[in-house]
């Protein structure tokens, strides 16, 4: 056990410190009660005297299991994250006041970076009214040749290319990729900078050339990178064209071209705290969007094209967020620290899209979302969120593209390796334009059926899974988990015939989950076998799904 030590500071002050952890223990981010106790003894308002940064590579060569030629070569080939990249993300500098909330939030910001597997920020020495901090980070493998294949709902997708989310250790992302799925194929180039010129501004540029159109997007923004940040601003430009597909029973029944051009400028200013940990923010901006539709060269054209439409509106909004997080393991991912938001948050936006501003018609635009944690304990976690968006016509009070979603997720932890997950999602729509559809099937809820199998203007789906998070770590590269699941749900039109097999559908299945411990930390590979209970001639007796999702 490490114990606090005594020493003398540069000006004769008596110093107290915690000895360094064993490097392998630090590499694995093992819990250190001594460091935690020492951090709790540091009062807010102490001065930050120094910050030292310890950066670990992908593999721990101090561990005999990883002290092998292939792992040493991988470390040598990998560009270690630069010291200044880590320091740029911290919410404090040397000479600032020490605040435990900023230390904890800096940890979350570092862990949220695509190229950092885990991070710790903690005091290690105190001399009088000064404290020395250490920042520990561990890289993941960021140069990723993309060779992927997935199958879901009877359709095959594949991709070829490469991506580096930490180019030369600078934190910049560059990517070149060719994708092909049942809807389209094309080439994409991406450049992303999370700290433009060392500032809090972020920039992303992506260019895609598809066989059915193009996709060009540019974003420059300074977000509320901290819960207590005072302001944000940004601009987003988009210009894309693609072939839209309308589905029924898993088959494409209509195809047509859709081109959209949009501009969005926004900003926000934080107000005084509503409560001790509740922060309010006023939001302002302007949005312009032009949608044009045309017949494509498809042999299944629509009887009628969607109506061209333009939106042009200034908007105002308000956001409230509670500074409440918890750390978890083996929940959405395997074997790493997860920062779960467990506070209350809500946001609303209102805008007026008027012919005077260049819009097609006079409409009120509205959007809002609400989320809260209904229960949290060592054994269970219950989360709920809801989101609504759409337009309301001023002339006839009809809705256009109204979409309301309610989600509830419940986790019951039976042991560190076993847990039950259940979730229910409800969707309701009204006045959807002909280019938008509510669908159910495949990877979006009913895994025993083809993708986009059922359509409707409302849907409900319930999922329950028994999960197992194993300790198996093959080749020191992948964490492995398993799931047994049951899905039941339906999409339908109120009072309308939805065709054969249009009632409640259900399926059961088994699955494997693969979560990389060295690369793509936010991606979980799902390999599922699903067996549908409600079948007709168009439904296979078993579905094999291979997908990549952002959680277990």
3-state SS, 134-183, equals EEEEEECCCEEEEEEEEEECCEEEEEEEEEECCHHHCCCEEEEEEEECCC
Q: What is the mean pLDDT of residues 298-308?
A: 93
**Contact between residue 132 and residue 153 where contact means Cβ atoms under 8 Å apart:** no
Confidence of residue 469 (pLDDT cuts 50, 70, 90): very high
CA distance 458 to 174: 40
Which of 528, 525, 419 lies closest to 466, judged by CA? 419
Q: Starting from the edge strand earliest in sequence, which strands make up the sheet with 14-18, in order?
A: 4-8, 14-18, 116-127, 130-139, 47-56
Domain boundaries 15-139, corresponding CATH code = 3.10.20.310
Spatial CB neighbours of 17, under 8 Å, sequence gap ≥ 6? 4, 5, 6, 7, 124, 125, 126, 132
pLDDT digit string, tens, across residues 71-114: 999 999 999 999 999 999 999 999 999 999 999 999 999 999 99
CA distance 89 to 112: 10
pLDDT digit string, tens, across residues 1-47: 233 344 445 555 688 999 888 889 999 998 888 999 999 999 998 99
- What are the structure tokens assigned to 443, written together? 């990877």
**Contact between residue 244 and residue 280 where contact means Cβ atoms under 8 Å apart:** no
Residue 538 has a pLDDT of: 82
Strands 143-152, 155-164: parallel, antiparallel or unpaired by DSSP?
antiparallel
Residue 394 has a pLDDT of: 92
pLDDT digit string, tens, across residues 180-234: 776 667 889 999 999 998 899 999 999 998 877 789 999 999 999 998 899 999 9
- What are the structure tokens assigned to 105, written together? 């939030």
Q: What is the mean pLDDT of residues 257-269?
A: 97
* H or E element in which residue 481 lies: strand 478-492
**Contact between residue 140 and residue 118 where contact means Cβ atoms under 8 Å apart:** no
Beta bridge partners of 203: 193, 220
Beta bridge partners of 178: 160, 187
Residue 21 has a pLDDT of: 86
**Contact between residue 510 and residue 465 where contact means Cβ atoms under 8 Å apart:** no
With a cut of 70, say whether residue 153 has pLDDT above it: no
**Contact between residue 276 and residue 322 where contact means Cβ atoms under 8 Å apart:** no
Strand ranges inside 323-437, DSSP E: 325-328, 338-341, 345-353, 363-376, 380-393, 399-413, 418-430
CA–CA distance from 266 to each of 237, 308, 409, 443 (Å)? 12, 25, 31, 33
Residue 144 has a pLDDT of: 81
% of the chain exceeding 90 in pLDDT: 73
Residue 2 has a pLDDT of: 33
Q: Give the least confident one: 61-65, 208-212, 390-394, 511-515.
A: 208-212
Confidence of residue 273 (pLDDT cuts 50, 70, 90): low
**Contact between residue 188 and residue 179 where contact means Cβ atoms under 8 Å apart:** yes
CA distance 252 to 112: 38
Spatial CB neighbours of 11, under 8 Å, sequence gap ≥ 6? none
CA distance 185 to 241: 13
Q: Where are the domains of the chain?
A: 15-139, 212-549
Residue 207 has a pLDDT of: 95
CATH 2.30.30 fits 212-549, yes or no: no
- Average pLDDT over the chain, rounded to whole? 91
CA–CA distance from 349 to each of 202, 235, 400, 402, 506 (Å)? 23, 17, 16, 14, 37
Which of 268, 221, 223, 218 lies closest to 240, judged by CA? 218
Map tokens 């959405």 to a residue: 332
**Contact between residue 427 and residue 465 where contact means Cβ atoms under 8 Å apart:** no
pLDDT digit string, tens, across residues 402-430: 999 999 999 999 999 999 999 999 999 99
Sign of the torsion formed by the C-alpha atoms of 355, 358, 360 and 366: negative
pTM for this one?
Answer: 0.88
Residue 151 has a pLDDT of: 62
CA distance 56 to 75: 10
């Amino acid at each position: 056990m490490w114990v606090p030590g005594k020493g003398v500071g540069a000006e004769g002050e008596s110093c107290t410190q915690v000895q360094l952890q064993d490097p392998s223990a630090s590499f694995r981010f093992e819990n250190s009660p001594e460091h935690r106790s020492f951090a709790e003894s540091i009062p807010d308002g102490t001065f930050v005297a120094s910050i030292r940064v310890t950066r670990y590579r992908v593999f721990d060569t101090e561990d005999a299991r990883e002290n092998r030629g292939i792992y040493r070569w991988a470390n040598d080939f990998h560009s270690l994250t630069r010291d200044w990249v880590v320091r740029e993300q911290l919410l404090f500098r040397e000479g600032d006041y020490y605040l435990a909330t900023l230390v904890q939030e800096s940890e979350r910001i570092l862990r949220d970076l695509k190229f950092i597997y885990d991070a710790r920020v903690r005091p290690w020495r105190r001399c009088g009214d000064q404290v020395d901090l250490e920042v520990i980070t561990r890289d993941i493998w960021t140069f990723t040749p993309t060779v992927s294949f997935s199958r879901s709902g009877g359709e095959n997708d594949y991709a070829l290319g490469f991506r580096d989310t930490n180019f030369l250790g600078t934190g910049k992302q560059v990517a070149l990729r060719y994708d092909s799925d049942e809807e389209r194929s094309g080439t994409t180039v991406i450049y992303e900078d999370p700290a433009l010129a060392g500032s809090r501004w972020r920039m992303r540029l992506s260019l895609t050339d598809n066989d059915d159109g193009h996709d060009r997007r540019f974003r420059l923004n300074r977000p509320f990178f901290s819960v207590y940040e005072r302001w944000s601003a940004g601009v987003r430009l988009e210009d894309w064209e693609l072939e839209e597909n309308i589905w029924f029973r898993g088959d494409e029944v209509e195809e047509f071209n859709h081109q959209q051009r949009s501009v969005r400028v926004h900003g926000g200013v934080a107000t005084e705290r509503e409560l001790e940990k509740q922060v309010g923010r006023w939001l302002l901006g302007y949005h312009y969007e032009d949608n044009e539709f045309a017949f494509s060269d498809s042999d299944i054209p629509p009887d009628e094209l969607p109506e061209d439409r333009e939106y042009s509106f200034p908007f105002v909004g308000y956001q409230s967020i509670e500074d409440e997080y918890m750390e978890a393991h083996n929940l959405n991912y395997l074997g790493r620290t997860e920062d779960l938001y467990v506070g209350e948050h809500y946001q609303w936006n209102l805008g007026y899209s008027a012919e005077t501003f260049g819009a097609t018609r006079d409409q009120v635009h509205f959007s809002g979302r609400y989320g809260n944690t209904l229960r949290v304990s060592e054994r269970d976690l219950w989360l709920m969120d809801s989101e609504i968006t759409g337009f309301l016509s001023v002339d006839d009070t009809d809705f256009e593209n109204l979409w309301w979603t309610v989600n509830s997720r419940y986790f019951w932890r039976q042991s560190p390796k076993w847990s039950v997950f259940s979730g229910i999602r409800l969707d309701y729509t009204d006045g959807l334009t002909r280019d938008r559809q509510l669908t159910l099937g495949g990877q979006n809820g009913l895994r025993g059926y083809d993708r986009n199998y059922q359509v409707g203007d409302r849907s409900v789906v319930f999922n329950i899974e028994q999960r197992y998070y194993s300790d198996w770590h093959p080749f020191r590269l992948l964490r492995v988990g398993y799931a047994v699941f049951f899905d039941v749900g339906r999409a339908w039109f109120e009072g309308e015939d939805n065709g054969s097999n249009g009632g409640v559908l259900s399926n059961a299945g088994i699955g494997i989950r693969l979560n990389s411990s060295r690369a793509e930390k936010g991606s979980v590979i799902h390999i599922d076998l699903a067996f549908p209970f409600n079948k007709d001639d168009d439904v296979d007796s078993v579905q094999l799904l291979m997908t990549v999702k952002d959680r277990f």
